[in-house]
């Protein structure tokens, strides 16, 4: 959170006071630092410089058009999981030909849409999907570029809800079935095999599981190429974690350096130095610590066992604590002197699961502003309208300038698409 700091006792995003943002745009509001976004993306892009490599931002982490445009302007590709996300890339000025389409449940309409925009690759996750894509591509008079998402059965040692590379997970083709799946893919007339990919999970602090998965993919590629199945790109997915509390995730440059060293040694030994394109799909590590959720304290409610700090943000704005029991940092926007009081920071939604932080020492008063840190990833994209609550505004800060990049939803906008039946 290097671009969120106190100046004269007041928390700023880059050079803009968060209190001023609250005054201008209200609360709750997501606030993003452009400098953080660019630096985080550069950690990948710089490590890939001079190589045939593509950084495809996993936009499920945060799909605001302004963020997509900013990353596209720096050469990013995109990892999609829906047709809607593809349309967002296009609306933001991104290049569909640098898009990878992941996800276990692609519909025929989504396949047609992606084919019509000549995306870079479909990351296919099952045999039924492969057969459907072959049919849809044939109807469109095209050959679909395909990479099979291989499930390497590697334990990422992360939260079970965000582990995706184990046998029990719904994602990908089982490692033991992958060779037969590739044999089938090469036999289908409207499929063009171009790559192989995997994604074993999210919020990984250690790159050892990722490198283990890479070794398994390397062995599989050698087997396939010995059978005349060429692989043109290797996609290692994303998953590098961020610091929410005291975690120490592996540095992106160190991880990518080890990846490229292994790939270079393998290609030199087995393939005479012939290069292979490498793709990455980072999401959280680009946007997570580039954003905060700005919220105002409505009430301070003492209780027999707990003290509650009731704010105007809620689980519908930030699902991670309720869904994953995730720890997220909390800071007061204005520093006060005095003794800390332990609070649970909770929202107004009618659920006991509506909490943002538990047992936090705060020096605050009613009406003060707080920020929920590390909120740039899986905040707004997972937000809902539960309790007919409009989703938050979003603001992008660039130095001393701040821009409203998403308006706050009004109650009227929430039911604008609903219709009352005619009365009998």
DSSP state string for 98-162: GEEE--S---HHHHHHHHHTT-SEEEE-SHHHHHHHHHHHHHTT--EEEEEEEE------S-GGG
Which entry of 99, 279, 309, 350 is annotated as an active-site residue?
350
**For residue 157, what pLDDT band results from cuts at 50, 70 and 90?**
low
The fold for domain 103-280 equals TIM Barrel (3.20.20)
Q: Judge whether residue 158 has pLDDT over 90.
A: no
**Which residue, chain included where needed, has tokens 């992008």?**
396
Q: Judge whether residue 169 has pLDDT over 90.
A: no
Domain boundaries, the chain: 4-31+288-414, 103-280
| CA dist., res. 182 & res. 146, Å (int) | 10
Q: Judge whether residue 289 has pLDDT over 80.
A: yes
Judging by beta carbons within 10 Å of its beta carbon (0-12, 13-18, 19+), is residue 181 exposed, middle or buried?
middle
Q: Judge whether residue 165 has pLDDT over 50.
A: no
Domain 4-31+288-414 matches domain 103-280 at the CATH topology level: no
Q: Which residues pair with 204 in a beta bridge?
A: 240
The CA–CA distances, whole Å, from 338 to 9, 272, 335, 358, 361 equal 14, 68, 10, 20, 11
350 is catalytic: yes
Judging by beta carbons within 10 Å of its beta carbon (0-12, 13-18, 19+), is residue 17 exposed, middle or buried?
middle
Predicted pLDDT of residue 2 = 81
* Average pLDDT over all residues of the chain: 94
| CA dist., res. 252 & res. 247, Å (int) | 14
Q: Which residues pair with 12 in a beta bridge?
A: 5, 17
**For residue 236, what pLDDT band results from cuts at 50, 70 and 90?**
very high
Residue 223, H or E segment:
helix 208-226
> How is domain 4-31+288-414 classified at the architecture level of CATH?
Beta Barrel (2.40)
Nearest partner of 253 among 36, 38, 77, 46, judged by Cα:
46
Predicted pLDDT of residue 243 = 95
Do residues 80 and 70 lie in contact, with contact meaning Cβ atoms separated by under 8 Å?
no
**Which residue, chain included where needed, has tokens 């009613």?**
366
pLDDT tens, 41-68?
Answer: 999 999 999 999 999 999 999 999 999 9
**136 — phi, psi (to 5°)?**
-65, -40
Express as a percent the part of the chain with pLDDT over 90.
89
| CA dist., res. 41 & res. 35, Å (int) | 10
Angle CA 353–357–363, to nearest 5 = 135
What is the model's pTM?
0.94
Mean pLDDT of all residues in 392-401: 98
Angle CA 169–172–187, to nearest 5 = 150
The CA–CA distances, whole Å, from 56 to 99, 120, 215, 348 equal 7, 11, 21, 37
| CA dist., res. 242 & res. 296, Å (int) | 26
């Amino acid at each position: 959170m290097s671009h969120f700091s106190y100046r004269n006792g007041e928390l700023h995003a880059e050079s803009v006071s968060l209190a001023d943002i609250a005054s201008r745009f209200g609360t709750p509001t997501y606030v993003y630092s452009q400098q953080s976004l660019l630096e985080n993306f550069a950690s990948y892009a710089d490590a890939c410089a001079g190589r045939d490599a593509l950084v495809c931002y996993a936009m499920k982490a945060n799909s605001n058009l302004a963020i997509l445009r900013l990353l596209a302007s720096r050469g990013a590709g995109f990892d999609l999981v829906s047709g809607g996300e593809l349309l967002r890339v296009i609306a933001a000025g991104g290049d569909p030909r640098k898009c990878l389409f992941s996800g276990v449940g692609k519909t025929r309409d989504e396949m047609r849409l992606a084919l019509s925009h000549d995306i870079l690759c479909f990351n296919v996750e099952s045999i039924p999907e492969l057969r459907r894509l072959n049919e849809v591509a044939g109807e469109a008079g095209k050959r679909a570029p395909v990479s099979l998402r291989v499930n390497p059965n590697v334990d990422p040692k992360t939260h079970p809800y965000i582990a995706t590379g184990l046998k029990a997970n719904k994602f990908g083709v089982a490692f033991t079935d992958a060779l037969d799946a590739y044999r089938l893919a090469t036999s289908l007339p409207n499929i063009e095999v171009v790559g192989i990919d995997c994604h074993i999970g999210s919020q990984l602090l250690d790159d050892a599981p990722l490198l283990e998965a890479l070794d398994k993919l390397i062995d599989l590629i050698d087997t396939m190429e010995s059978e005349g199945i060429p692989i043109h790109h290797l996609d290692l997915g994303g998953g590098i974690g961020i610091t929410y509390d005291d975690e120490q995730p592996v540095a992106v440059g160190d991880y990518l350096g080890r990846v490229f060293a292994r790939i270079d040694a393998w290609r030199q030994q087995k393939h005479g130095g012939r290069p292979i394109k490498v793709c990455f799909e980072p999401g959280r590590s680009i946007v997570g610590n580039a954003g905060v959720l700005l919220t105002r304290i409505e009430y301070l409610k003492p209780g027999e066992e707990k003290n509650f700090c009731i704010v105007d943000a809620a689980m519908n704005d930030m699902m991670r604590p309720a869904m994953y029991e995730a720890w997220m940092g909390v800071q007061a926007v204005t520093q006060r002197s005095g003794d800390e009081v332990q609070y649970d920071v909770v929202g107004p939604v009618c659920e006991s699961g509506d909490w943002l932080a538990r047992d936090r020492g705060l020096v605050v008063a009613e009406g003060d502003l707080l920020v929920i840190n590390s909120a740039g990833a899986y905040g707004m994209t997972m937000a809902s309208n539960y309790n007919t609550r409009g989703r938050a505004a979003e603001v992008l800060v660039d130095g001393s300038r701040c821009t409203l990049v998403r308006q706050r939803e009004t109650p009227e906008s929430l039911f604008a698409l609903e219709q009352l039946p005619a009365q009998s």
